[in-house]
Amino acid sequence: IAAGEIAELSLVAAPPEGVELRPIADERGIDALVAVHEEVFGEDATAIGAMLRVELARDASDVAATVAMADGRPIAAGRVELHRGTGFASLWGDCTVLDWRGRGVFRSLVGVGAAHAAAAGARDPAAAAPAARRPLFRRLGFVDLATTTPYVHPGAAD
């Protein structure tokens, strides 16, 4: 887990040329997010899509998801969850397909999530930061807090 104070993070970054960041608010957007996760992680991500549908239906103001598109193809995605009354927000799933890495797409997605969190009053965003992404978060000003082991219960989508 990596975290930081909004005021101290370096998060303002426009996406690279040819990339459009779109808020996810419907089935098409959720499907795009699922497609990115499946390409990046090489595993079925329908449970993530199901979870996002529930979160958006429950209270769309507590979650915001974004997909990056290039030439009609989803190339990156991420989401932020607000924890109202705590000052914290969680950044989840920020990931980019292999052929678009190293161009600033990840940075712009994290910036969108953090900006949403800041607008909602969160001061301290935290992110799941596996070893491969820790250097990216560190360059943005996040610090390492803890190590976690992600797990999705097989019955979570039921």
pLDDT in tens, 30-86: 999 999 999 999 999 999 999 889 988 886 678 889 999 999 999 999 988 888 888
Whole-number Å distance between alpha carbons of 35 and 68: 12
How does the average pLDDT of the chain come out, rounded?
85
Q: Average pLDDT in the 102-120 region?
A: 87
136-156 pLDDT, tens digit per residue, is: 878 877 877 777 776 777 876
Alpha-carbon torsion 156, 144, 104, 91, what sign? positive
Q: How far is CA 120 from CA 58, 64, 77, 88, 137, in A?
A: 17, 11, 20, 10, 21
| Three-state DSSP class for residue 73 | strand
